[in-house]
Each structure stands twice: as structure tokens, then as C-alpha cells.
């Protein structure tokens, strides 16, 4: 067991693997190409009037070879297991039993989709007068698939990743919408930096093509309706467009990576999170400003990747914060990928690392002037993730060396 008495932050933590499966495609090249071409994949009809960013279909067999495993999962888990597999591939540790048997996992997850036919079947029967005391029980006992529960349980995304890839370290699942993704990265980073862990798989996945989720967010009038617009251009037509995506990262201590000859995309220098009370206007922007101040000193060529969703008032508050740092080119992942909830923050870190490793920030995609062009290679990218309702997170991703 490693001595954990050392001060946090002593060990440099590298991002050595990235796995992406999104509405723009799978893998780093496809996503990078789509970003460069400002391609956006939205479905305005399938869930009309709601707009979603559907997963660009992938062949799950390549990362989840057993059909039996695929059948035990719902879409959100399949997307996540797929992206996690890509991340392990990208880090060059797929099938490496020595490493996989000790890799630590911190997964940010919501829950699985419901069986809509069962739900509407019960409700319509009740509307037609079925009111025996045990009616719901009997219908659930006969109509629910026995294994559906396992496809709904939050920690079974991690469970399935472990089963499909043979992972045997620790496994923790964080819930709590957007900030769960930031806290997952924060805890994994501090565990590696302090020597508690050498290598970790961190990320999340989300299926945005779900009517049960649309109902949940419609309760709060958060869904984008009728017409797509970039995140920053939604002020008078607010809302988020749910997106499907899986984003996973392999985080590794520099020593561990060097020992196996792994190359970093970038280093993850810091992740900070908080819970603004959001009682009055300005609370959230103030918390973002506080987090900005907690990040290590930035003197390199910087940029910001924001997870702003388009929901209000959170997006306006974030814009107020960004205005104070208007010299930093900003990119909103919500415009291109939709709002992927727990996955948005890991996705932001992934895109930051990718931009640094490719020596360029991807182009702006915005009609309001919030996003400006960036010349040259970014060396420091701040990832901002503010929840549509609660939770704020920030990370600093930097070039190595």
C-alpha cells in the first residue's frame, strides 16, 4: 500500500486515455473532424417538439463482444461501456490484466430508462377504472422484465464496465447530475495525486433519447423546444437539448505512465467543485468566480470549454462570469453535443485534452459573439461545468512539460 501521507498535488496526473461515443461520432478523429466542420447532429422530429442530439450509431459488438452482456444493459449503459472500452484502448491498456486488475473507477451516473409500455399500460388501465388494491403490484410483477432493474441501477454502469473489461480495483458511482461528473474527476485526481491510486477510469454516459427523462426535465421547463439554436443564443428561447454521449478518461500518475511508456494527451492539474446556494441572482456567478480563483495560476495560452446547457437562469449567470474573462476564447459543448448531464464535465475534460494534444482549439460555433476564434495552440484550458439546477465544477487541463 502506498504511503498517502504526502501532500496532494505532488504527483502529476496525466490523461493517457480518452474514449468518446457521441452524437457526432465515435472516437477522437470523428469527433474532432465534426467539431472542425461545425457539424451538429440534432433530431427535431423524433421527440417533437423537443430537440435531442441522438447517438450516432456505433457497432456495440466491437467493445461489448457478448450479446448476452448487451442484452443485460439499457442504452445508457451500452453507450458508457462502449466509451469506457475506447478509453482503455486509447490508453493502450485494454486486456492488460496487471493494470486492469487494479484500476480504480469513479463513474458519474444517473439511472436507467423505464419501460414506457409498462408505465403507460398501468396508467391507462387505471384511467379506465382498474382500481383493485393490488392492481399495480400484479401488473409490475407480471410486466417488468426481471433484469430491467439491473439496467436501471446507477452503479451497474460501473458494474458492466468491470464485467466486460475485467476490472478489479475499486468502483465508485457518483450521482447528482452535472456536478457528479466533476466530483468524479476531482476524487479520482486527488486519489492519484496523493498516491492512494496509480491509475483510474473516470467518466459517464447518458442516453438523451428518453421520454421519461424529458418528462422529468419538463417538470422544471428545462427542455429546448421547437427550434435549435446555439447555447448562447437561447436566452429568449431557453432550454437544453438532451444529448446522448459516453465520455471516459484514463487518469494516471506520471510515474505510472512513464514506467509503461504511455504518452499523455495532457495533464489534469486541478478539479474544484462547489454548491452555490442559488438563492438570488449572482450567487452562481460568484461561486464560479470563486472556483476560478482556486485553480492554479494560469499564465499560458488559455481557453475555456463550458458545459453551459442553455437552461436559464444558469446559462445567463455563467455568461456573466465569462464576460469577466472575455480574453479567453470560449467553446460551449452543449451546442455541439447537447446536454449530456453527468457526462458533460468528463466530455469537457476530454475535449480540452484533445485540443491541447492536437495543438488547436476547435472553432467557435455561435451566433452571438460569445465564442471567438483562437490562433495558435492552447496550453491551458479551463473546463467549466455548472449544473442546470445545482452544482458547480471547474477543471484545469494543461499541456505536459
Partner 1 sequence: MTAPRDKLGRPVVVVTGMGITTSLGAGKADNWSKLVAGESGIRTITRFPIDGLKTTMAGTVDFVSVDPFSSTGLSERMAELVTQEALEQAGIGAKGDFPGPLFLAVAPVEVEWPQRRELGRAVGKADFNYDDLLRISGGGKYNAYHHRFMFGSVAAHLAETFGTKGSPISLSTACASGATSIQLGVEAIRRGETDAALCVATDGTVNPEALVRFSLLSALSTQNDPPQAASRPFSKNRDGFVMAEGAGALVLESYEAATARGAKILGVIAGCGELTDSFHRTRSSPDGKPIIGCMNKTLADAGMTPDQIDHINAHGTATPENDKMEFNTTSAVFGDLAQKIPVTSNKSMVGHTISAAGAVEAIFSLLTLEHQRIPPTINYETPDPTILFNVVGNKARDARVTAVMSNSFGFGGQNASLILTREPA
Site for partner 1 in 160-199 (CB under 8 A): 160, 162-163, 165-177, 179-180, 182-183, 186-187, 190-191, 194, 196
Judged by CB under 8 A, which stretch of 17-25, 35-43, 150-158, 375-383 contacts partner 1? Answer: 150-158
- Side-chain half-sphere exposure of 203, counting CA atoms within 13 A: 35
Would you count residue 297 as binding partner 1 (CB under 8 A)?
no
* Minimum separation from the CB atom of position 236 to partner 1 (A): 17
Q: Does 218 interact with partner 1 (rule: CB under 8 A)?
A: yes
Nearer Cβ to partner 1 (166/282) = 166
Q: Is residue 3 within the footprint of partner 1 (CB under 8 A)?
A: yes
DSSP string, 186-209: HHHHHHHHTTS-SEEEEEEEE---
Q: Is 358 one of the binding residues for partner 1 (CB under 8 A)? A: no
Residue placing its CB nearer to partner 1 in the complex, 214 or 377: 214
Is 222 among the residues that bind partner 1 (CB under 8 A)? yes
Residue in 45, 57, 59, 134 binding partner 1, rule: CB under 8 A: 134
Nearer to partner 1, 32 or 222 (CB): 222
Report CA-CA distances (Å) from 314 to 308, 328, 335, 347, 367: 8, 20, 15, 19, 19
DSSP state of 35: H
Q: Does 72 bind partner 1 (CB under 8 A)?
A: yes
Out of 42, 92, 313, 389, which residue is the one contacting partner 1 (CB under 8 A)? 389
Phi, psi of 81 (to 5 degrees): -65, -35
Under DSSP, is residue 156 helix (H, G, I), strand (E, B) or coil?
helix
For partner 1, which is the closer residue by CB, 120 or 368? 120
Indicate the DSSP class of residue 381. Answer: E
Q: Which stretch binds partner 1 (CB under 8 A): 24-32, 240-248, 269-277, 310-318?
A: 269-277
Nearer Cβ to partner 1 (8/282):
8
Asked if residue 140 binds partner 1 (CB under 8 A), the reply is yes
Q: What is the DSSP letter of 114?
A: P
Distances (CA, A) of 144 to 27, 116, 210, 342, 366: 35, 11, 18, 27, 44
Question: Are 342 and 180 a contacting pair, CB within 8 Å?
Answer: yes
Closest CB to partner 1 among residues 47, 232: 47
343: contact with partner 1 by CB under 8 A: no
Please tell me the count of residues contacting partner 1 according to CB under 8 A.
Answer: 91
Cβ proximity to partner 1: between 193 and 350 the closer is 193
> Is position 226 an interface residue for partner 1 (rule: CB under 8 A)?
no
DSSP 203-236: EEEE----HHHHHHHHHTT-B-BSS---GGG-TT
Q: Which is nearer to partner 1, 183 or 312 (CB)?
A: 183
Question: Which of 59, 128, 299, 373 lies at the binding interface for partner 1 (CB under 8 A)?
Answer: 128
What separation, in Å, do the N-terminal and C-terminal C-alpha atoms of the chain show?
A: 29
The answer to whether residue 7 forms part of the interface with partner 1 (CB under 8 A) is yes
DSSP for 40-107, please give it: ---BSSTTTTB-BBPPPP--GGGT---HHHHHTS-HHHHHHHHHHHHHHHHHT-TT-HHHHTT-EEEE
Q: Residue 341 carries which DSSP code?
A: G
Q: Which stretch binds partner 1 (CB under 8 A): 221-229, 259-267, 300-308, 315-323?
A: 221-229
Mapped onto helix, strand or coil, the DSSP state of residue 399 is coil
Among 274, 283, 289, 320, binds partner 1 (CB under 8 A): 274
Residues 344, 391, 396, 398: which binds partner 1 (CB under 8 A)?
391
Query: Site for partner 1 (CB under 8 A): which residue of 42, 150, 360, 372?
Result: 150
Q: Toward partner 1, which CB reaches closer, 287 or 335? A: 287
For residue 239, count other CB atoms closer than 10 A to its CB: 25
Could you tell me the smallest distance in angstroms from the CB atom of residue 12 to partner 1? Answer: 17
Residue the block writes with cell 490562433: 375
Please list, in sequence order, all residues whose beta carbon lies within 8 angstroms of the beta carbon of residue 218, skipping any fewer than 6 positions away: none
Amino acid at each position: 500500500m502506498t504511503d498517502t501521507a504526502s501532500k496532494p498535488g505532488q504527483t502529476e496526473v496525466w490523461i493517457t486515455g480518452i474514449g468518446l461515443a457521441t452524437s457526432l461520432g465515435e472516437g477522437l478523429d470523428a469527433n474532432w473532424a465534426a467539431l472542425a466542420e461545425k457539424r451538429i447532429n440534432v433530431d427535431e422530429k423524433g421527440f417533437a417538439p423537443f430537440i435531442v442530439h441522438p447517438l450516432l450509431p456505433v457497432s456495440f459488438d466491437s467493445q461489448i463482444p457478448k450479446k448476452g452482456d448487451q442484452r443485460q444493459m439499457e442504452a445508457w449503459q451500452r453507450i458508457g461501456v462502449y466509451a469506457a472500452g475506447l478509453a482503455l484502448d486509447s490508453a493502450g491498456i485494454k486486456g492488460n490484466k496487471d493494470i486492469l486488475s487494479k484500476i480504480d473507477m469513479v463513474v458519474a451516473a444517473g439511472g436507467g430508462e423505464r419501460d414506457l409500455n409498462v408505465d403507460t399500460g398501468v396508467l391507462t388501465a387505471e384511467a379506465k377504472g382498474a382500481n383493485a388494491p393490488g392492481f399495480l403490484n400484479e401488473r409490475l410483477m407480471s410486466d417488468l422484465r426481471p433484469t430491467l432493474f439491473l439496467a436501471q441501477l446507477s452503479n451497474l454502469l460501473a458494474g458492466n464496465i468491470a464485467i466486460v473489461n475485467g476490472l478489479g480495483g475499486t468502483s465508485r458511482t457518483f450521482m447528482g447530475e452535472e456536478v457528479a461528473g466533476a466530483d468524479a474527476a476531482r476524487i479520482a485526481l486527488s486519489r492519484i495525486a496523493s498516491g492512494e491510486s496509480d491509475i483510474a477510469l473516470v467518466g459517464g454516459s447518458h442516453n438523451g433519447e428518453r421520454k421519461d427523462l424529458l418528462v422529468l426535465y419538463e417538470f422544471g421547463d428545462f427542455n429546448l423546444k421547437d427550434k435549435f439554436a446555439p447555447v448562447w443564443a437561447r436566452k429568449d428561447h431557453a432550454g437544453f437539448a438532451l444529448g446522448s454521449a459516453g465520455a471516459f478518461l484514463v487518469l494516471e500518475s506520471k510515474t505510472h505512465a512513464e514506467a509503461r511508456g504511455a504518452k499523455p494527451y495532457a495533464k489534469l492539474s486541478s478539479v474544484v467543485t462547489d454548491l452555490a446556494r442559488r438563492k438570488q441572482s449572482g450567487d452562481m456567478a460568484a461561486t464560479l468566480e470563486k472556483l476560478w480563483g482556486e485553480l492554479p495560476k494560469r499564465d499560458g495560452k488559455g481557453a475555456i470549454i463550458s458545459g453551459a446547457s442553455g437552461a436559464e437562469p444558469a446559462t445567463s449567470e455563467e455568461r456573466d462570469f465569462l464576460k469577466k474573462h472575455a480574453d479567453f476564447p470560449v467553446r460551449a459543448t452543449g451546442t455541439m453535443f447537447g446536454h449530456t448531464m453527468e457526462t458533460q464535465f468528463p466530455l469537457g475534460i476530454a475535449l480540452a485534452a484533445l485540443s491541447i494534444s492536437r495543438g488547436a482549439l476547435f472553432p467557435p460555433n455561435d451566433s452571438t459573439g460569445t465564442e471567438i476564434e483562437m490562433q495558435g495552440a492552447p496550453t491551458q484550458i479551463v473546463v467549466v461545468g455548472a449544473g442546470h439546477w445545482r452544482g458547480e465544477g471547474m477543471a484545469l487541463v494543461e499541456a505536459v512539460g
